[in-house]
Structure 1
């Protein structure tokens, strides 16, 4: 009975090892897979040769087959070592001197083993045991034990590498490293059982059963992740040192691995391991019909571009509660043995580059505006001034020089407004917490307001975050616009406290309320107002319904845009113009103590 059980155990170990080798070969043909196949086939071959050994009833038969399968065992530590080195991505350790030592290591043991019948340096004796079944038991000499001990150093080194990989794994490698490590331990334990006094057949090579357990665990890891050929290819050092986000998927687009930068972009990525990209982040898949997806609980993905040669998006915008980023995706196919095994999505953050492009386009627009001014806006006053100068020469009447002065002042005003427009449209890098009431008063004193009256209804403690210089420019231009259009009173009030919001484009009648720390303010007058049909055009460069440059309200719009605020134009409750600035960041009451008072 025990004989049959031991025989069946060896057959099962051989079958499992060979099937696992076949499965690994189907999954990959890289160096890791090749070493794994060699290892599994060696275990399977040893188990089969041991079966043939047990089928014989004579000592000479069993000794012959024992010597044959044991020969494989002398080479296995080297295979384990190479597998471990390749698996953890440390093949750079295998320099020419190291290769020379590794390849030379089994030569002496194998030579001693093959020639042992002539010198007896390795084997002390083969003992033929018949209880509980016929078998031979090996007893080594001290030289033989020393040789085996040296070979075991490779085994222990490989064990250390797999243990480290298990304790500090890349995401999906824990199953793989755990399977290999578990099989390693199984071989150690079953090897120790060989000489244990409590086993049914002391001296029997139970370590061959450990090889079968190892094959079963490898098969389990393959079934669990189906990623054996993908994850080890993303070497840890390179994987984490790249500053771009990296997402690795297998051939079925199931998420296999990612680096820390990718996990920052997609906070729930850790929970998505094993899910297909189509289910987890459909916005990253080119053939998806939707333009946006949730991307998990805390990220929204908007597809911006698609590629023609890969099944993935070419560019996406990823939005989280903290910020929004634009990513350009480069796809690298992972192949093994000439067959595709997966893809590495390298996502580069091009948000700053995109902003730079926008800024460059803005600068180009400014240059076009300068060209327009030089060719048109300044040409007219220059022609007027030249005409009056020529008229003065002909008539000698110096009163014509007053008209020349007016034309020159017009030119100076246009140039100054144009320079202001070019400055105020630049992006704002730093902002300060300021008291809006004080800033309104300061802007009023430096504005050409003629006989206008200011109603400053901003509370003294009301603070916002802004670039003070640019906001002051905005207010000065609104005040000057009111004066240019015949208003008598200008009112400035906070958005959200019984504000007279008026009617018209972009506004609502009634009281507007603040949302969290978002607020705003309103500047209105009692002038003739702005016709509803013109309210969208008044903010454009060059628009003017009075004797102005047509740049003042364009400056206002540029300052608002540079801050990231919103601006709407409507009619005040007095029938004049009303400008509502919203989405302004307010400095809340609990922050007031930490900022200086501008009063």
Structure 2
């Protein structure tokens, strides 16, 4: 009972090494849901090919029968495992309930038990001895009806799995079509070889070429695994992600045909997209002009607004394979914008006009009232001016909120600070304002006006609330690397600051700091807490809009605000803006 390796046993041995190699490489992705059935199937293919390579090296019927049983033990598991892989790949693994899994596992386990006891009942096959033809010495076997029924069942499982894979091929974009195509071909090649063996059509009678073709299967599965990233780019994973999103998503291939869309997109768009066709009729403008538009729709209910974003889709190698259209419901934002617009109009016209009327009547009454009431008229006029100032700050707040984080531009912070000092000096000439400014310092901000207004509010706040006879304020501008926070223990209001400036060139960790110091009584703890929390409550709120405008301006620009106490008295407020290149050198 000696074993002699031959050319015929070398081929399935090489195939076993190939499938084992794919298994070893797939091991690095074993955490993926599809990886377990895929790797188990590769183990079945490896065992099948290796056992058959050993089997056909023996020259005795007993040894060949033993290894034939080992070959069948591995081989009978493969059709079931292939179907499980196809179910996972196509997103239908929900069918694999415990009862279904038990039924699928029962058939191969029963057949394995029958082949190992076949010598007692002969239900699977009859061994007639050895066949010594022009090829290797192999078993001369007569298959029984039970074996043929098993083979028919196995073919149904394999064809069912291929059908599921081809359905993915039909519905998906090019990267998934290539992926699905090589998977289906990898399963079809050994299936054809096995059908030929079962029907007695093998080139060498009695020699089963099925395991010989596993080398081709290994190459194709390896291609799916690495060229098309099988275990990471599974269509079902993307499908589940799409359905979990609150936004509408339409996925297009490289020819702008619809690959898939989620339920939200199907409900929002009228008409709903059709898989395999261009979605031009579903959108009011051409696809190339769609990005950044707002879609108004009233399908099945009141009017709603959706922000439309178009993004390219590249595969893991950076090749363009399509694009996605995202639909984000911005109805609430749109309504708030409308309310802000109304509030802004009221502040610009109604409040300003009413304040002018109050101030005008107060001036007319100055010469008509008794001396004791003159003081009251001054108070009325002061409060009217305060209301006018409050209205201007509210208008500035609305203007600041109209800008998004992406709407930023290089701004010379020094010029903005100089403008703020000049503006405050005109209305507060009694205050001493010192300045320590470099020639220029460019920041990434909403616009120059916003930076100037933010500094103006700090200066006015420092002067107005200073109880000294001659208020002192110092403004400095400096550039420093870091996160922008002046002191880790300081009250910070930094949120959602981008990691880099959009103007290029400048390192993202470089910040320009505008520091305003005073010798006043300081900013109340409640004011600091409100700014740090980013929201007011009925019990905790700020005394005005100035610091809110400062906070929102800096945060919208991607920076932060820190507030520190000075020793022995006063406050230092630091505005940290992301540094930017001057416009004439940006991008160089």
Q: TM-score range by the shorter chain?
A: 0.3 to 0.5
When normalised by structure 2's length, the TM-score is 0.47
When normalised by structure 1's length, the TM-score is 0.46
Q: Higher Cα Rg: structure 1 or 2?
A: 1
